[in-house]
């Protein structure tokens, strides 16, 4: 029987040191730090590309490095990737919410992030080898669009990008393909926000980049519940076919993680958990999920890929791509 009572927190375990990074850890004056992309570097250390909101309200990205991914963070002394509105007008009001994917074929990290300007939020892409210099490709998905990550390898000869365009009919997850990371087409809807009272009604979006498993692309996504006192951001999980990522194999009905801890419930934007990155432990099963908490800090939760897949086996439905 489907378990609709899944207690929050059983699949994702909050780290006792949470929140692991706050504005107090920053070497220069900022308002807040949250929604970080994550990756392992060659030496096994963890890099977070954090969204930093300055005291004008505009965001840039700043790298923090740690040997164990939990503490001892070394934060870049100055912003790492700053909006460059002269050359990239789509970055006029800042850059936000990076997702990082290491692409073996390119021997580089591909960073996708939200660039924000008069036109609204769009998706921008940059390549880097070291998170010190970046090759910017500019905006690759025009506004309104965000919550984007590249798959780490080509699918049938094309790069594949998951993203979340917004339309008056809803904000759903799409996939698009490209031969060169510049030109994008073959756009397909892959996962719909549900409707009505559902926790993920009207607006969903990719959270960290999809995790490649032997069973498919394990994909954490956020759902936004609109309430009279504001929005509630929670996390759900779906599985997509490895060679045809347009095909949703399974989607859970319940959310698996939501704001409960004080640092998630209180902050600049209350009741938000917003992961943008994960790293995999050497055991090949434990993932470290880095998430923004209440748009005010960065927190860490751990999960087991095997447990997430088992939970989907018990609770997911294969016909849930579309809104019931
Ligand atoms: C979303 C994004 C996130 C943010 C969240 C809550 O739309 O802008 O960056 O964390 O809202 O404010």
Segment 274-317, tens digit of pLDDT: 999 999 999 999 999 999 999 999 999 999 999 999 999 999 98
Distance 245 CA to ligand 1 centre (A): 25
In this predicted structure, the answer to whether residue 51 has a pLDDT above a threshold of 80 is: yes
In this predicted structure, the answer to whether residue 321 has a pLDDT above a threshold of 80 is: no
Using most ligand atoms within 8 A of CB, pick from 34, 95, 274 the residue to mutate for ligand 1: 274
Query: What pLDDT, on a 0 to 100 scale, did the predictor assign at position 168?
Result: 83
Q: What is the mean pLDDT of residues 167-196?
A: 95
Using most ligand atoms within 8 A of CB, pick from 32, 33, 34, 35 the residue to mutate for ligand 1: 35
Using most ligand atoms within 8 A of CB, pick from 50, 295, 296 the residue to mutate for ligand 1: 295
Q: What is the mean pLDDT of residues 189-204?
A: 95
Ligand 1 neighbourhood includes 147 CB (under 6 angstroms) = no
CA of 116: how far to CAs of 144, 193, 280, 281, 296, in Å?
9, 23, 30, 33, 19
3-state secondary structure of 182: coil
Instruction: Determine contact, residues 65/72, Cβ cutoff 8 Å.
Output: no
Query: What pLDDT, on a 0 to 100 scale, did the predictor assign at position 2?
Result: 42
Ligand 1 neighbourhood includes 97 CB (under 6 angstroms) = yes
- Exposure letters 26-62 (e unless 16+ CB within 10 A, then b): beeebbbbbbbbbbbeeeebbbbbbbbbbeeebbbbb
> Minimal CA–CA distance to 273: which of 308, 237, 297?
297
What residue ranges in 41-158 does DSSP mark as E strands?
46-53, 59-66, 74-75, 95-103, 108-117, 120-128, 134-141, 145-150
Instruction: Determine the atom of ligand 1 nearest the C-alpha atom of 121.
Output: 8
Structure tokens at 148: 């984007």
Provide the pLDDT confidence category of residue 266 given band limits of 50, 70 and 90.
very high
Instruction: Determine the atom of ligand 1 nearest the C-alpha atom of 97.
Output: 9
pLDDT digits (tens, 9 = 90+) for 216-229: 999 999 999 999 98
Provide the pLDDT confidence category of residue 3 given band limits of 50, 70 and 90.
very low
3-state secondary structure of 2: coil
Query: What pLDDT, on a 0 to 100 scale, did the predictor assign at position 1?
Result: 38
In this predicted structure, the answer to whether residue 207 has a pLDDT above a threshold of 60 is: yes
Query: What pLDDT, on a 0 to 100 scale, did the predictor assign at position 8?
Result: 43
Query: What pLDDT, on a 0 to 100 scale, did the predictor assign at position 212?
Result: 98
Query: What pLDDT, on a 0 to 100 scale, did the predictor assign at position 320?
Result: 67
Give the integer Cα–Cα distance in Å for 248 and 197: 22
Using most ligand atoms within 8 A of CB, pick from 59, 207, 233, 263 the residue to mutate for ligand 1: 233
In this prediction the pTM is 0.96
Distance 122 CA to ligand 1 centre (A): 14
Distance 274 CA to ligand 1 centre (A): 8
Q: What is the mean pLDDT of residues 95-120?
A: 98
Give the integer Cα–Cα distance in Å for 209 and 49: 14
Residue of the CA atom closest to atom 10 of ligand 1: 295
Give the integer Cα–Cα distance in Å for 34 and 293: 7
**What percent of the chain has pLDDT above 90?**
92
pLDDT digits (tens, 9 = 90+) for 53-105: 999 999 999 999 999 999 999 999 999 999 999 999 999 999 999 999 999 99
Ligand 1 neighbourhood includes 292 CB (under 6 angstroms) = yes
Structure tokens at 291: 């998430």
Q: What is the mean pLDDT of residues 320-324?
A: 69
Query: What pLDDT, on a 0 to 100 scale, did the predictor assign at position 222?
Result: 98
Residue of the CA atom closest to atom 4 of ligand 1: 295
Ligand 1 neighbourhood includes 274 CB (under 6 angstroms) = yes
Instruction: Determine contact, residues 114/123, Cβ cutoff 8 Å.
Output: yes
Provide the pLDDT confidence category of residue 169 given band limits of 50, 70 and 90.
confident
Neighbour tally for 142: CB within 10 Å: 12
Distance 289 CA to ligand 1 centre (A): 17
Ligand 1 neighbourhood includes 271 CB (under 6 angstroms) = no
Give the integer Cα–Cα distance in Å for 237 and 249: 11
Provide the pLDDT confidence category of residue 167 given band limits of 50, 70 and 90.
confident
Provide the pLDDT confidence category of residue 170 given band limits of 50, 70 and 90.
confident
Pick the CATH number of 7-317 from 2.60.40.1150, 3.90.1150.10, 1.10.1060.10, 2.115.10.20: 2.115.10.20
Ligand 1 neighbourhood includes 69 CB (under 6 angstroms) = no
Query: What pLDDT, on a 0 to 100 scale, did the predictor assign at position 319?
Result: 66
Give the integer Cα–Cα distance in Å for 188 and 150: 15
Give the integer Cα–Cα distance in Å for 19 and 298: 6
Q: What is the mean pLDDT of residues 250-268?
A: 97
**What percent of the chain has pLDDT above 70?**
96
Distance 188 CA to ligand 1 centre (A): 24
Average predicted confidence (pLDDT) for the chain: 95
């Amino acid at each position: 029987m489907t378990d609709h009572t899944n207690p929050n927190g059983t699949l994702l375990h909050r780290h006792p040191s949470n929140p692991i990074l706050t504005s107090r850890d920053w070497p220069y004056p900022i308002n807040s730090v949250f929604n970080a992309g994550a990756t392992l570097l060659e030496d096994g250390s963890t890099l977070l590309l954090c969204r930093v909101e300055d005291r004008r309200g505009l965001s840039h990205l700043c790298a923090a490095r740690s040997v164990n991914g939990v503490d001892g963070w070394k934060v870049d002394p100055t912003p790492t990737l700053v909006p460059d509105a002269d050359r990239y007008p789509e970055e006029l009001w800042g850059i936000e919410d990076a997702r990082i994917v290491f692409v073996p074929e390119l021997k580089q990290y591909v960073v996708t992030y939200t660039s924000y300007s008069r036109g609204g939020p769009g998706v921008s892409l940059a390549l880097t080898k070291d998170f010190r210099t970046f090759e910017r490709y500019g905006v690759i998905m025009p506004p309104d669009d965000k919550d984007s990550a590249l798959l780490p390898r080509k699918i049938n000869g094309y790069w594949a990008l998951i993203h979340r365009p917004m339309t008056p009919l809803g904000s759903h997850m799409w996939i698009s393909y490209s031969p060169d990371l510049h030109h994008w087409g073959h756009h397909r809807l892959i996962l719909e926000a549900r409707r009505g009272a559902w926790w993920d009604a009207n607006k969903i979006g990719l959270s960290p980049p999809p995790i490649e498993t032997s069973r498919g692309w394990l994909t954490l996504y956020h759902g936004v519940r609109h309430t009279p006192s504001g929005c509630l951001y929670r996390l759900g999980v779906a599985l997509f076919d490895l060679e045809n990522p347009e095909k949703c194999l399974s989607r859970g009905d319940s959310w698996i993680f939501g704001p409960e801890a004080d640092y998630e419930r209180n902050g600049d934007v209350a009741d938000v958990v917003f992961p943008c990155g994960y790293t995999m432990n050497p055991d090949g099963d434990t993932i470290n999920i880095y998430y923004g908490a209440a748009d005010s800090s960065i927190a860490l939760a751990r999960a087991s890929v095997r447990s997430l897949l088992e939970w989907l086996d018990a609770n997911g439905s294969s016909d849930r791509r579309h809104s019931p």
